[in-house]
Amino acid sequence: MNIEPLNINDYDQLIVLWQNCALPFDAEDRDSRAAIERQVLDDNIDLLVMKSDGRIIGSVIASTDGRKGWINRLAVDPDSRGHRLAARLLEKAEELLTERGIKIIAALIENENYPSMAAFKFCGYEGWDKIVYFRKKLP
């Protein structure tokens, strides 16, 4: 299994992975093909996939605002879990962020996403319940 940058031609496979992992999906906005293609070309974002026999079985997005690193869309196909694949994806994301001089890495995880929480805890991340998340969707 290898970890590599997403080739936009694999977009459909990526979306199937996210759907199989029950990650929220916004086909009209942030997860559209055009939006993902912009992310692939952005120097502050690494959209990585893990492949086995040419099929995407994992993903992670590592991004930075220059101050802090962010991990998003950590996903491992449910049929492939239990083999430290999420840890491998996280380690690669951390490596790329560290190369950019990032010293703090954070992630936002939905309350019911127990597989992601377990993976982050396994990799040494600590939960922090002192933050309330706010967001505003712009038109």
Indicate the domain borders of the chain.
2-122
Average pLDDT for residues 89-110, to the nearest whole number? Answer: 95
For tokens 């127990």, name the residue.
Answer: 114
pLDDT, position 133? 83
More confident residue, 25 or 60: 60
CATH of region 2-122: 3.40.630.30
For tokens 């992670």, name the residue.
Answer: 60
pLDDT, mean over the chain: 94
Given strand 55-64, what is the order of strands in its sheet?
2-5, 45-52, 55-64, 69-76, 105-107
